[in-house]
Amino acid sequence: MWYVAGEEAGARPLSSSAPAPVRMKITETLVAEHRIFLRVFDQIDRLLPRMRTVSEVRRMASLVEELLMDHGATETELAYPALDHMLQDKGRLERLNQEHQEIDAGLREVQAATTLGEARRRLETALLMSRNHFRFEERFVFPLFEELLQQGTLAELGADWLRRIEGSRRPG
Ligand SMILES: [Fe+2]
Ligand SMILES: [Fe+2]
């Protein structure tokens, strides 16, 4: 369901004659980001065997780290807290936060690799951890958002996500 931007969340469904809305639910924005990251990861998988120096692999790891930074922050600072007080079992969210830290650590370990093979393996491992993490969120966590939070709340969180993205946009 789409809502008119600027209206009270969920207050007025969009009529067919209104201008196109720009609102997405937080679950939709996070899944859309996952899709983009997965395409980037697939490209990196294809490029990795052709990389000839450790520094090339390190640069790829830095790029992935940067890409995931805002996404992970949106989840831990915005999305998960909204769900946290609705859940009796906090273990699921703790697992997610822990996985974010493990993925970050895995990517940073690429910077410490001294051989090409080691750097490649570490980056592949970090990408695999990220893929598994996305899958877990989409199968077991995002459905909980849909189940436990109001549609209007999900749309408000989506609007907060957009404000964060616009606020973090780098010049150029
Ligand atoms: Fe996550
Ligand atoms: Fe995610």
**pLDDT one-digit tens code per residue, 113-150:** 999 999 999 999 999 999 999 999 999 999 999 999 99
Question: Residue 17 C-alpha to ligand 2 middle, in angstroms?
Answer: 34
Q: How many domains does the chain have?
A: 1
Which ligand neighbours the alpha carbon of 31 most closely? Answer: 2
Rounded-to-10 torsion of CA 48, 51, 57, 62:
-80
Residue 13 lies in a domain: no
Q: Using CA atoms, how far apart are residues 45 and 107, in angstroms rounded to an integer? A: 15
Question: Residue 161 C-alpha to ligand 2 middle, in angstroms?
Answer: 13
Residue 91, pLDDT > 80, answer no
pLDDT of residue 170: 62
More confident residue, 90 or 82: 82
The tokens describing 90, both together, are: 């906090």
Residue 8, pLDDT > 50, answer no
159 with 77: CB under 8 angstroms? no
Residue 7 lies in a domain: no
Residue 6 lies in a domain: no
Question: Residue 139 C-alpha to ligand 2 middle, in angstroms?
Answer: 11
Please provide residue 115's backbone torsions phi and psi, each rounded to the nearest 5 degrees.
-120, 160
pLDDT of residue 10: 46
pLDDT of residue 19: 65
pLDDT > 90 fraction of the chain, expressed in percent and rounded: 73
Among the listed residues 102, 45, 117, the one whose alpha carbon sits nearest the alpha carbon of residue 68: 102
Residue 15 lies in a domain: no
Residue 152 lies in a domain: yes
Residue 12 lies in a domain: no
CA distances from 128 to 107, 125, 138, 159 (A): 11, 5, 15, 30
Q: What is the CATH number of the domain that holds 130?
A: 1.20.120.520
Question: Residue 172 C-alpha to ligand 2 middle, in angstroms?
Answer: 26
Residues 6+ apart with CB under 8 A from 39: none
Residue 4 lies in a domain: no
What's the pLDDT band for 12 if we cut at 50, 70, 90?
low
Residue given tokens 């709340």 in the structure block:
153
- Containing structural domain, residue 126: 26-166
Which ligand neighbours the alpha carbon of 98 most closely? Answer: 1
Residue 46 lies in a domain: yes
Report DSSP state, residue 13: B
Per DSSP, the three-state class of 37 is: helix
